[in-house]
Amino acid sequence: MIGDSAAAVLAAPRRITSRGFLITLALVTVGSLVGVPLALKWATASGHGLPGSLTLVAVTGPMHVAATSFFYFDREFWPVLRETPVRSFWSLGLLPLGILALGVAGKATIGPWAFLLIFFSHNVWLFYHYQRQNFGLISFVSRNVGAGRLPTSVNTTLNLAALGGIVSLLGIPGFYPNTEGLVTPQAYLAMRTGGIAVYMLSVLSMMWVFRREPRLRESVWLIGALVVGMAFFLPAVVLQSAALAFLPNAIAHGAQYIFMMSVLSGRSRRGWLALLTMCVLAVTIGSIFNRMGAWPAILAATGFTQVHFLIDAKVWRLSEPKQRAIMNDRFDFLLAA
């Protein structure tokens, strides 16, 4: 009895920290998904700009992408990066240069269709990347509440929701920049209708998963995480404006990532110095990315964003022992049920 009481006392601070982490993560996510559309609608109706909106977009956009560079400055992740030299090092040059070459050559041969194809494929990968991060965060919650590893059916269902979201978004006129007239009204309608149908199918699929996997229903925290993961793409499915449909997802994703990277860097062996390093890298490199918005520099920026996709898919993969050991150390408080 005494031993059990002592263990409970020792576990209490970790439980408080883990709950605070989960609440903050939920507020960051839901606040972005709900607050951004409301703020944009208010700004449109009132005719006033939103103070700090450009800074928010920069931080959750190019700066969150740039924050990935911190892994190259964290010695514990060097063995992880060295496992895949093409993905981790060669891609830094190959992807930006490759997309730049494809874009320039494509524009010379097939005109604006080149940009349309690159834009289309990049955004499909982008939304898949969004949902992979959601899946990782839900996995953290599942482990925290003692539900263990998420079943494969959850992964499949979340990916289906992401597919519905991106197809719906691609079906909104005006989402494709500088490609007026290339996509017909009939094509927009077909994509919009198909995307909504796929998303509704994912909702039905998640209901089936809940029924088949009772352990997913045992914790309100895990239920909430799964509901938020499914609702993540609702703005893209429900809202008709390209900005209203896209920005909530982009800002929520970037805010989640900055929060996670702050914890990961701040809880490393270098503590506050590592956190400061991550922030400096994010601001400095992100500011450079933010200036690469004109043609053809935007093609290279797209390539660097895709490097971010690749590196994240490697370093956050908890199924591999090296990454799991590092994350278990940095996020040890999440193991407290």
What pLDDT sits at residue 17?
80
What pLDDT sits at residue 126?
93
What pLDDT sits at residue 337?
43
Dump pLDDT digits (tens) for 225-256. 999 999 999 999 999 888 889 999 999 999 99
What pLDDT sits at residue 236?
93
Dump pLDDT digits (tens) for 162-197. 999 999 999 998 887 766 678 888 988 999 999 999
Better-scored residue on pLDDT, 54 or 76 = 76
Tell me what the mean pLDDT of segment 147-173 comes to: 93
What pLDDT sits at residue 250?
93
What pLDDT sits at residue 4?
42
Dump pLDDT digits (tens) for 109-147. 988 888 888 888 999 999 999 999 999 999 989 988 888
Dump pLDDT digits (tens) for 247-303. 999 999 999 999 999 999 999 988 899 999 999 999 999 999 988 888 888 999 999
What pLDDT sits at residue 9?
41
Contacts of 114 (CB under 8 A, 6+ apart): 102, 103, 105, 106, 107
What pLDDT sits at residue 179?
66
Residue 10 has pLDDT above 50, yes or no: no
Q: How many residues does the chain have?
A: 337
What pLDDT sits at residue 332?
87
What pLDDT sits at residue 54?
67
- State the Cα–Cα distance between residues 190 and 194, nearest whole angstrom: 6
Contacts of 311 (CB under 8 A, 6+ apart): 68, 71, 81, 87, 88
Other beta carbons within 10 Å of 243: 15
CA separation (Å) from 107 to 99, 117, 143, 179, 313?
Answer: 12, 11, 48, 12, 31
Residue 306, token pair as written in the block: 């895709």
What pLDDT sits at residue 173?
87
Which one-letter DSSP state was computed for residue 268?
S
Tell me what the mean pLDDT of segment 42-54 comes to: 70
What pLDDT sits at residue 333?
84
Residue 3 has pLDDT above 70, yes or no: no
**297-315 and 91-110 are packed helices; what angle lies between their axes, rounded to 10 degrees?**
140
pLDDT band at 24 (very low <50, low <70, confident <90, very high): very high
Q: Are 223 and 216 in contact (CB under 8 A)?
A: yes
* Radius of gyration of the chain from its Cα atoms, rounded to whole angstroms: 21
